[in-house]
Amino acid sequence: MNETKYIFVTGGVISSLGKGIIASSLGKLLQARGYKVTIQKLDPYLNIDPGTLNPYEHGECYVTVDGHEADLDLGHYERFLNEPTHKDNSITTGRIYQSVIDKERRGDYLGKTVQVVPHITDEIRRNIKLLGAKYKYDFVITEIGGTVGDIESLPFIESVRQLRWELGKNCMCIHLTYVPYIAAAKEVKTKPTQHSVKQLQESGVQPDMLVLRTEHLLNKEILKKVALFCNVEADAVMQSVDVSTIYEVPLRMQEQGMDEIVLRKLGMPIGEKPTLQPWREFLDKKKNATETIKIALVGKYVELQDAYKSINESLLQAAIYNNRKLDLHFIQSEKLTEENIEKNLSGMDGVVIAPGFGQRGVEGKFVAIKYLREHNIPTFGICLGMQCMVIEYARNVLGLEDANSTEMDLNTPHKVIDLMEEQKNITNMGGSMRLGAYKCILQKGSKTYQAYGQKEIEERHRHRFEFNNDYKKQLEDAGMKCVGINPETDLVEVVEIPTLSWFVGTQYHPEYNSTVLKPNPLFMSFIKAVVENKQNSN
Ligand code: GLN
């Protein structure tokens, strides 16, 4: 077996350049050549994990199968590589410090002054190498969050510098920068890239490859100039021009030989160029789709699209596989009222009721659900969305006027959604929800069963509240069926109204488990229903 190779991806000039997409694209290309690849994210903030962060801060919180609340880039890694990630794939400065401080208290460093260098950097290095050692990957790609030059990412960059000495030929560094276009001068500018590479060099790290993000195609001369000024081999300067979908990026990188150059630099066999056939077929389907479906996402973080990243991507994947263009509308649930609901939702072919926490915006979700149910529009409720479906049904069909979740109203006379028993003694907010993959048994004949084509499934979770089984009989008698149940705890995982065209709510989050080559069956079923419903009503 070869030794694991480590590839670091850093970013310069500005944030949000898409390091995660570049890392994922490279990972995809190496994987397509038969290598075992994983991608890791190092985030420079002090939270132990992003679970306690408001989505407005860093977008969606992703959840791994092993129940870790992780950075949303892990979603990209999984969507591209079609491989699960784990707790070790998402590390924050907070976790590094916590581990070092725990060791200090245990006495592991007895007698020594504990310092950023070497103790924090040693811990960072240990966490990077852990993945290769534990799972025997051929390649570990480590994406360093933040921008080179930030005070808070310094220990990460210093660790990369040290690892380059330690790992020698088994390691390389890719730096992603931005080349702006100045419209008035009709010119692209490489100076920010030069400065950013210089900054990296000042920290002792020489990049082996550069990826230039740009809105305009860069000519050979510019690439050559950047190579020369930045001390990088001429063929190792890639450009990443804006494309219509992130899923095109692996192809653009392959055209420039990115994977071959990486393999050559790391002394690995290159072999045949992969055709990426299924990936290309997916993109062709996207290109060839002519008909559009209009889907609304009703939630409270709609101003920031990243807040529902995995849902957007799952919808897009399912739409493409159903040969449709996705026209996704984000609707602020806080603004929805009985008066404006028709205007907001009547034109929609299908609606997703988003997950979430807290009171803000839920009343609008109830208004939306009532309208969708009464107008038989395909509706997909996820986590809080499913809980809202149950509450709305209890209120408007069972006539339990003040039915609610105890998350929203502790004194509700009808707690149709209530805190899980195991949550009642929990006081810490971090990492304490019901997290990760759990089993669910589906009822034969249900839409959900048909979607998955099997009785037993596993999907990921992130919640504290649950369907209150005291109301199960009443709800079922009135037409809302509990068709997915956790076999160990009896917890209701899926509700459906079988008399409607497609009205399904899941306590779990199917969006965390939908990849380009393996779209989630329930999203596929939802979009299929949307398409059929639309055809029938035409
Ligand atoms: N707030 C709800 C709960 O904790 C739903 C969570 C979610 O939508 N992820 O149960």
pLDDT at 90: 96
List CB contacts of 153: < 8 A, sequence separation 6 or more: 44, 144, 145, 146, 147
**HSE toward the beta carbon, residue 304, CA cutoff 13 A:** 11
388 is catalytic: no
* The pLDDT of residue 2 is above 90: no
When pLDDT is cut at 50, 70 and 90, the band that residue 314 belongs to is very high
Instruction: Give the model confidence (pLDDT) of 71-97 as tens digits.
Output: 999 999 999 999 999 999 999 999 999
User: Is position 171 annotated as part of the catalytic site?
Assistant: no
Sorting pLDDT into bands at 50, 70 and 90, what band is 282?
very high
Main-chain phi, psi angles of 458, to 5 degrees: -135, 130
Q: What is the pLDDT of residues 349-389, one digit of tens each?
A: 999 999 999 999 999 999 999 999 999 999 999 999 999 99
Average pLDDT over residues 326-343: 96
Query: SS in 3 state form for 53-95?
Result: CCHHHHCCCEECCCCCEECCHHHHHHHHHCCCCCHHHEEEHHH
- Which of 58, 175, 463, 509 is labelled catalytic? 509
pLDDT band at 524 (very low <50, low <70, confident <90, very high): very high
- What's the token pair of residue 146? 């933040």
Q: What is the pLDDT of residue 197?
A: 96
Q: Residue 257: which residues within 8 A CB-CB, separation 6 or more? A: 235
pLDDT tens sequence across 47-76: 999 998 888 888 899 999 999 999 999 999
- Pick the atom of ligand 1 nearest to 509's CA: 9
In this structure, the number of other CB atoms found within 10 A of the CB of residue 315 comes to 27
- Give residue 8's pLDDT: 98
Q: What average pLDDT does range 477-491 have in this prediction?
A: 97
Confidence of residue 236 (pLDDT cuts 50, 70, 90): very high
Residue 303 has pLDDT above 90, yes or no: no
> To test ligand 1's pocket by mutation, which of 297, 333, 383 has the most ligand atoms within 8 angstroms of CB?
383
* Res. 400: pLDDT tops 70: yes
Q: What is the pLDDT of residue 348?
A: 96
% of residues, the chain, pLDDT over 70? 99
Which atom of ligand 1 is least distant from the CA of 433?
4
Cα 391 to middle of ligand 1, angstroms: 14
DSSP letter for 351, please. Answer: E
Please, how many CA atoms are within 13 Å of residue 231, restricted to the half-sphere of its CB?
12
Residue whose CA lies nearest to ligand 1 atom number 3: 463
Above 90 in pLDDT, residue 538?
Answer: no
Question: Which residue among 464, 491, 506, 512 has the greatest number of ligand 1 atoms within 8 angstroms of its CB, and so is best to mutate?
Answer: 464
Give the confidence band of 199 by pLDDT, cuts at 50, 70, 90.
Answer: very high
3-state secondary structure of 2: coil
Pocket lining: 355 vs ligand 1, CB cutoff 6 Å: yes
C-alpha–C-alpha distance, residues 367 and 341, integer Å: 7
Q: Which of 383, 388, 440, 482 is catalytic?
A: 383
Average pLDDT over residues 245-259: 96
Using pLDDT thresholds of 50, 70 and 90, give the confidence band for residue 1.
Answer: low
Q: What is the predicted pLDDT for the residue at 274?
A: 95
Cβ–Cβ under 8 Å, residues 117 and 158: yes
Is the pLDDT at 306 greater than 70, yes or no? yes
| pLDDT > 90? residue 133 | no
At 81, which amino acid appears?
L
pLDDT digits (tens, 9 = 90+) for 224-235: 999 999 999 999
pLDDT value of residue 536:
86
Contact 354/308 with Cβ under 8 angstroms?
A: yes
Ligand 1: does its nearest atom lie under 6 Å from the Cβ of 383?
yes
Half-sphere CA count of 417, side-chain side, radius 13 A: 27
Is residue 464 in contact with ligand 1, taking CB distance under 6 Å? yes
Angle in degrees, CA 154, 6, 9, rounded to 5: 50
Please report the atom of ligand 1 found closest to the CA of residue 420: 10
Residue nearest to atom 6 of ligand 1 (CA): 463
**Residue 261: which pLDDT band, with cuts at 50, 70 and 90?**
very high
Find out whether the beta carbon of 283 lies less than 6 Å from any atom of ligand 1: no
Model confidence pLDDT, tens digit, residues 456-477: 999 999 999 999 999 999 999 9
pLDDT of residue 148: 92
Rounded distance from Cα 427 to ligand 1 centre (Å): 16
Please give the single-letter amino acid code of residue 224: K
Task: Report, in angstroms and rounded to the nearest whole number, the Rg of the chain calculated over CA atoms.
Answer: 25
Give long-range contacts, CB 8 A cutoff, 24+ apart: 78-81: 78/512, 78/515, 79/24, 79/313, 79/317, 79/514, 79/515, 79/516, 80/24, 80/25, 80/27, 80/28, 80/247, 80/250, 80/515, 80/516, 81/24, 81/27, 81/28, 81/31, 81/37, 81/38, 81/39, 81/515
CB proximity list for 331: less than 8 A, separation 6 or greater: 296, 297, 298, 299, 302, 344, 345, 368
Atom of ligand 1 nearest to the CA of 466: 10
Cα(461) to ligand 1 centroid in Å equals 9
Q: What is the DSSP letter of 235?
A: G
Instruction: Tell me if 463 CB under 6 Å of ligand 1.
Output: yes
Q: Catalytic site residue 511?
A: yes
Which of 384, 404, 421, 507 to probe ligand 1 with, by most ligand atoms within 8 A of CB?
Answer: 384
Calpha distance 323→524 (Å, rounded):
11
Confidence of residue 211 (pLDDT cuts 50, 70, 90): very high
The count of C-alpha atoms lying within 13 angstroms of the C-alpha of 303, restricted to the half-sphere facing its C-beta, is: 6
- Helix (H) or strand (E) holding 492, with range, is strand 492-496
Measure the CA–CA gap between 348 and 364, rounded to whole angstroms: 16
